[in-house]
């Protein structure tokens, strides 16, 4: 007699949501203002404007860009505005902060664009273990976004989940 194996996970109707799929593809480019400062400390407006005009902005085409200043310098607000005015036509996403902060901001922006109706009345498992670390804020936002529409939210893998939310029957 041949024994039939049943894949209970596949038959469970669970939808697995992998937050890694929302991360930026490829490396994040960093635009560091320190490279445009006189003696690494002082922003000279005329030199700064000239350097930005001569910069090859096409290398940021369709890329995720972190704008930062890695030295302790006083940067006038207009300088950041000027950088964004050059970056915006090229980059896919710009964030003020470190590479890691930019990755997190991009991830959260992508989560906020998810169509909630896709998950209406579904049982969702938010994948917990993966190749790339996912910040806790991403789990926070995906739960906040899904909770109003799903039957349940779980964390982990379909074969081993931690219950997070279950809609109460009316």
**What is the block-wise mean pLDDT of the chain (170 residues), using blocks of 10 residues?**
50 84 94 92 94 97 97 94 97 97 97 94 91 92 96 90 88
Q: Are 49 and 63 found together in one domain?
A: yes
pLDDT of residue 6: 40
**Nearest alpha-carbon partner for 87 in 52, 48, 122:** 52
CA 35, 41, 47: angle at the middle one, nearest 5?
A: 60
Residues 89 and 112 both lie in one domain: no
Are residues 84 and 111 part of one domain? no
- Among 46, 77, 100, residue at a domain's last position: 100
Q: How many CB atoms lie within 10 A of CB 40?
A: 12
Statement to judge: residues 125 and 158 lie in one domain: yes
pTM: 0.84
Kindly state whether residue 2 falls inside one of the protein's structural domains: no
Do 41 and 95 reside in the same domain of the chain?
Answer: yes
Instruction: Quote the radius of gyration of the chain (alpha carbons, Å).
Output: 22
To the nearest 10°, the Cα dihedral for 115, 121, 125, 127? 0
Residue 72 and residue 115 in one domain? no
Q: What's the start-to-end Cα distance of the chain, in Å? A: 46
130 with 91, same domain?
no
The torsion angle over the Cα atoms of residues 130, 135, 136 and 140, rounded to 10 degrees, is -100
In a domain, 73, yes or no: yes
Whether residue 3 is contained in a domain is answered as no
Residue 78 is part of which domain span?
29-100
The answer to the question of residue 1 being in a domain is no
**72 belongs to a structural domain:** yes
Q: Please indicate, yes or no, if residue 68 is contained in any of the structural domains.
A: yes
Tell me if 69 is assigned to some domain.
yes
Which of residues 81, 100, 119 is at a domain's end?
100
CA–CA separation, 94 vs 124, rounded Å? 31
Domain check: are 33 and 94 in the same one?
A: yes
Considering its fold, how many domains does the chain have in total? 2
b/e map 149-158, b = 16+ CB within 10 Å: ebebbbbbeb
Same domain as 117, residue 161: yes
Cα distance between residue 79 and residue 94, in whole Å: 15
Q: Are residues 43 and 94 in the same domain?
A: yes
Domain end among 100, 119, 135: 100
Q: How many CB atoms lie within 10 A of CB 71?
A: 13
* Tokens of residue 94, six digits: 């710009």
Q: Which pLDDT does position 1 carry in this prediction?
A: 60
Give the pLDDT confidence score for residue 3 in this predicted structure: 62
How many angstroms separate the CA atoms of 149 and 27, rounded? 34
């Amino acid at each position: 007699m041949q024994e039939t194996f049943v894949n209970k996970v596949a038959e469970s109707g669970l939808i697995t949501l992998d937050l890694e799929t929302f991360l930026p593809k490829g490396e994040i480019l960093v635009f560091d203002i320190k490279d445009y400062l006189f003696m690494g400390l002082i922003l000279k407006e005329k030199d700064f404007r000239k350097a930005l005009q001569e910069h090859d902005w096409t290398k940021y085409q369709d890329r995720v860009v972190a704008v930062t200043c890695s030295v302790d310098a006083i940067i006038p607000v207009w300088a950041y505005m000027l950088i964004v005015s050059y970056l915006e036509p090229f980059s896919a996403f710009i964030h003020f902060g470190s590479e890691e902060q930019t990755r997190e901001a991009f991830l959260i922006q992508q989560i906020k664009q998810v169509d909630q109706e896709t998950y209406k009345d579904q049982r969702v498992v938010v994948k917990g273990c993966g190749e790339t670390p996912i910040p806790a804020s991403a789990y926070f936002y995906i739960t906040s976004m899904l909770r109003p529409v799903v039957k349940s939210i779980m964390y982990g893998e379909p074969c081993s989940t931690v219950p997070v939310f279950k809609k109460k029957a009316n």
